[in-house]
Structure 1
Amino acid sequence: MTDASPRSALLTFRQRSPAATLEVTIQSMNEETTMTNYFLSLPHDSAEEPTMEGMDPAELAEVIAAVEAFNTALHEAGAFVSAGGLQPPSTAITVDYSGDGPVLTPGPSIEAKEYLGGFWIIEAENDDVAIEWAKQVSRALRSRVEVRAFQEEPAS
């Protein structure tokens, strides 16, 4: 995707929490730049299957504030594409239509010690910029974040 829209010269993301104060500055681009979509994913422990309903209300309020601040910073930088939190794997229905007819199976398609709990899809100029965003949300949420670029169609 090509982005030629003018952007502010500088964006600063600030998140205050009892654990730390984050202040990270990201330089925006003012010239035409090819942007790549990146998938930032939050792993969760399969044994625990945490949900917002099961969290301490004070901890939940802190997490929601951190996510809102991060999403606002992404929007202001023009980097936000999509985001969401997922229900635990035990709520999944696996659909397999690789044979003669569809087979629906309650539960996840694979057993794993961790699962995808939430994600962001962002646009970034390169891996370094995507990693800076991931550092921000990792620190704000006190969680690991995996960064992966989307595959792009090969040049003809």
Structure 2
Amino acid sequence: MKEAQIIIEEYGLNTDEKSVEFVLELLDKYGTVRNVLIEGLKPEYKYLKKLSKILAMLDGKSSYDLEAEEISTLMHSINFVVANDSEEKGEDYLLLLNTLDIRKTFNLSQMQIWVMNYLGGREFISEVNLQDANELIKKIIRAMEKYEYTSDMLPSTVIENKAIKDMKLIK
């Protein structure tokens, strides 16, 4: 149980029954706390946090697939929220989408913003429901790979400054 507590503290997890259960499964899978922590440092888990990282390490799916699904869900959520607000307030959908501070409202990471912007920003989000789900995931994964390549080539501060300057998602 002491080993599980180390992992729980390292990843900032709650000490509820489910989290402890997942951590114990990880320990069974990887053997030691050291092995679990080393596995968590792999690049494919880089952008995942807390329980998402633990679940990705347990799951057979790659973290790119998990993160792509999360970004897809975020884009659908943004679209859903704006569509509902537009309907309730009787305001123009695109006007509401353009005035929404997506980064703060949905608490997006730098990578998530970069990927959404790379795919087309607010225009792409407004048409996300027209995309085939599998094609959307593939597009997101390609964008994530491009981000990974770009982040390896440039210092992260340059990426952040360029992304903030060019970002269609930030007004």
Query: Whose strand fraction is larger, Structure 1's or Structure 2's?
Result: 1
Give TM-score scaled by structure 2 length. Answer: 0.24
Q: Which has the higher helix share?
A: 2
Q: TM-score, normalised by structure 1?
A: 0.25
